[in-house]
Amino acid sequence: MATLVNPTSGKVLIEGLDIKENPIEIRKKIGVISHETYLYTELTAAENLRFFGKMYDTPMLEKRIDELIKQVGLTYRKNDRVRTFSRGMKQRLSIARALIHDPPILFLDEPYTGLDQHAIATFDRILGGMNAMDKTRVLISHDIEHGISLCDRAIILTGG
């Protein structure tokens, strides 16, 4: 659904668009957070967000970068290279990366990987704020109780 791999069967529509036929348009509508951060370690935190923000033609990009860096608690490391970050810091920056273009849909694949309790609380606050903005979140997690606490609706798959 995140257009990272080609589907082998079936059909998925996002906002009426087939992901196989319209991957570029779909990517504008989604953000992806996973255990893989998709960050460039030789760039700074701000440079990473600027790079991804330009890919999505994000309006008022510098303001958006500052807002997100503050939200994920990395203001003091904004101009440091990502290679110097801890695993948890990289994951927090990855959250900002996924949100840079303010997507209506967010795919979260084990997003808590590497986060400490403070970072988890920060991330939960960000996700909770998305409720008020009527955004869709698709969460994949082994922590069922935590996952359900964040959801309006849930589907639990076993053996899948």
Residue 24 to residue 56: CA distance in whole angstroms: 10
Domains and CATH numbers, the chain: 13-149 (3.40.50.300)
In this predicted structure, what is the pLDDT of residue 27? Answer: 86
Q: How many CB atoms lie within 10 A of CB 107?
A: 21
Q: How many CB atoms lie within 10 A of CB 71?
A: 18
pTM score, whole prediction: 0.84
Confidence category of residue 158, pLDDT binned at 50, 70, 90: confident
Q: How many CB atoms lie within 10 A of CB 69?
A: 21
Rounded to a whole number of angstroms, the distance between the first and last alpha carbons of the chain is 16
pLDDT digits (tens, 9 = 90+) for 12-54: 888 888 888 888 888 888 899 888 899 999 999 999 999 999 9
